[in-house]
Amino acid sequence: MRVLDIGCGTGLNFPLLRAAAGDGGVVVGVDTSTSMLAVAARRIARARWSNVQILRGDAGALNQVVGSELFDAAVFTYSLSVINDWEWAWDAAVRQLRPGARVVVVDLALPSGWGRMFSPLARLLCFTGGSDPRRAPWTRVRRDATEVSEAVLRCGHVHVATGTVNPARRGGRRERVWKKSPGSPGLSPTCWTSPSAWGCPV
Ligand SMILES: C[S@@+](CC[C@H](N)C(=O)[O-])C[C@H]1O[C@@H](n2cnc3c(N)ncnc32)[C@H](O)[C@@H]1O
């Protein structure tokens, strides 16, 4: 099984995703942040995982980061509320999935019910973390997937949605034309799977 971890950050999901991907499976983490990916690379090197790759690039232009190969699952944990063009990122990931693939979104909202008394704190935490709690990205799972299951945790602060990508609904938007301005840092889809590229002892 080939699994995408979009906005993988420091790779906290990798151990579970490796277990889910099974023997012969591959986990591919994508993120724009060099500092996050440096930590992820150290994690991979320490554990000597040969089937976890990290790629630096914009999730909104995913096909330019991971190529044309399709995946069996995509996971977004606390990333869609952070990614600027999150709707592009979602659509790009769905286009990268084979029919019948699984998607998982875990993300933040402001607490509801009696938990609303914690809203100011939640707002502050989201603000400091660069996350927009008004987006409700898990609703994309309802739109583009079937067999949807959802859970709401921590007084409505955390939403989880999972489903199976439905070929009839997938591909909300056309592909984005990816432009790189001359001399701009960063967003080239660079493959940094080699821990030594990060100065990590292997
Ligand atoms: C709150 S962190 C979540 C990290 C990880 N998924 C986790 O659960 O620990 C959000 C991540 O999204 C990444 N990110 C933000 N914009 C992005 C983009 N356009 N493409 C890919 N990753 C992006 C950030 O660099 C950050 O690592």
The dihedral of CA 135, 16, 156, 138: what is its sign? positive
For the ranges 80-84, 162-166, 183-187, the lowest mean pLDDT is seen at: 183-187
Q: Residue 78 carries which DSSP code?
A: S
Q: Which residues contact 47 (CB under 8 A, 6 or more apart)?
A: 15
What's the pLDDT tens digit per position in 12-54?
999 999 999 998 999 999 999 999 999 999 999 999 999 999 9
What's the pLDDT tens digit per position in 70-108?
999 999 999 999 999 999 999 999 999 999 999 999 999
CA–centroid distance, 6 to ligand 1, in Å, is: 7
Q: Which of 106-115, 163-172, 186-195 has the highest mean pLDDT?
A: 106-115
Q: Which two tokens stand for residue 105?
A: 């979104």
Q: Which three-class secondary structure state does DSSP give residue 33?
A: coil
Asked if residue 66 lies in contact with residue 28, where contact means CB atoms within 8 angstroms, the answer is yes
User: Global pTM?
Assistant: 0.86
CA–centroid distance, 8 to ligand 1, in Å, is: 6
Q: Which residues contact 16 (CB under 8 A, 6 or more apart)?
A: none
Nearest to 65 by CA among 5, 9, 23, 140: 5
CA angle, 145 as apex, 141 and 147 as ends, to 5°?
Answer: 105
Q: How far is CA 26 from CA 59, 128, 162, in A?
A: 18, 33, 20
Fold of 2-198: Rossmann fold (3.40.50)
Top pLDDT among 118 and 37 is at 37
For strands 2-6 and 71-77, give the pairing: parallel
Q: Which residues contact 51 (CB under 8 A, 6 or more apart)?
A: 18, 21, 24, 25, 26, 27
Q: Which three-class secondary structure state does DSSP give residue 73?
A: strand
Question: Residue 9: CB within 6 Å of ligand 1?
Answer: yes
Can you tell me which atom of ligand 1 is nearest the CA of 85? 19
Nearest Cα residue to atom 11 of ligand 1: 7
Question: Residue 160: CB within 6 Å of ligand 1?
Answer: no
Q: Residue 177 carries which DSSP code?
A: P
Question: Residue 119: CB within 6 Å of ligand 1?
Answer: no
- For 135, the enclosing helix (H) or strand (E) is none
What's the pLDDT tens digit per position in 145-163?
999 999 999 888 899 999 9
The torsion angles phi and psi of 107, rounded to 5 degrees, stand at -160, 175
